[in-house]
Amino acid sequence: MQADKVRAVPMPRPVEAGGQLAHFGFRAGDVPVAHHGDGLAWFCHALERANAGETTELPVLNTDEPPESERRHRRLTVGPRRC
């Protein structure tokens, strides 16, 4: 691939306090997971459903928590934002 054709890949940003992801309960270090399949695809699906006014649950694993922590695996409720 030619150097002038390379696209920059955006770096992930941490969850911002009071931001849209924090509103759903996300914390820094959270990674969407799926028992079968792709956690990122499930994350996108959950956001699409929220945008459509629906609510769904999204399992996440927090990579900042130690493996034995009860807070390492959580299920977040993702739905339409209420102001």
Domain extent for 54: 31-83
Please tell me the total count of domains within the chain.
1
Residues 6+ apart with CB under 8 A from 67: none
In a domain, residue 71? The reply is yes
In a domain, residue 20? The reply is no
In a domain, residue 75? The reply is yes
In a domain, residue 12? The reply is no
Task: Calculate the CA 48 to chain-centre distance.
Answer: 12
pLDDT, one tens digit for every residue, the chain (83 residues):
455 555 555 556 677 878 888 888 999 888 898 877 788 888 889 989 988 999 999 999 998 899 999 999 999 999 886 54
64: amino acid identity, one letter: D
Which of 64, 26, 62, 18 has its CA nearest to residue 46? 26
In a domain, residue 80? The reply is yes
Distance CA 11, CA 33 (A): 20
pTM of the full structure: 0.71
In a domain, residue 65? The reply is yes
In a domain, residue 48? The reply is yes
